[in-house]
Chain A
Amino acid sequence: MGDEIDRILAGEEEILPSSGFSAAVMETVRREALTPPPIPFPWLRALPGIVVTAVALAVVIAKLAVQTVKAFSAHQVPAAWPAWLAPVLQAPILNPQIVAAGAWAALALLLSLGAVVLSTHLVSHRA
């Protein structure tokens, strides 16, 4: 049976490219040659700045998050937050654990949003 399958599959009929095929290819290639090459993103130059920014941002966010969680746990307004939030914080509905979880969720959402915006920005620049 192997021989029979070999015979059938090896005996595949050849097709000829259409008459204008090579001309069409050359037209595409000529157009490509006239197009200036895309300027690559200077990753090497940008890398130190990106790393420093990312680390600084992470540190700031972490500090803010820790401070916020601690302050919410103690039913106090974090130092960095406006004073008008005090009555809101003292509302009985605001269980410290729920608020802390909410703060973390908000932080996660913010980070996700930042990642989406950054990647969209990079992709649109490369396209």
Chain B
Amino acid sequence: MLVTSTLNDFLSTLIESINYGINDAMKESIEANSSVIFVASRIYLNLRCSIDYDRDNATIMITPSNATVSNYYDRGNESLIRITLTPIMVASYGKA
């Protein structure tokens, strides 16, 4: 089954997933009393996908590229979303 999502949901879920991943990694490093932790100073994402406009709901829909989408629906390779994420520590919010 082809699963598509609105661009808004897609991006917010993506950022949420990355946040979970980074936080869990930090938590586990701390729990393991590691002498050093590794922080992701920058994350670049190049997402191959199909982007369509859903006229009924007046929203942008996205279908990320993968084998199922490519082989069974012949889609997923037309568009590219480039995202660069930089983690900001909570204590640094609002500071220049």
The answer to whether A and B assemble together is no
Residues of chain A at the chain B interface (Cβ within 8 Å): none
Residues of chain B at the chain A interface (Cβ within 8 Å): none
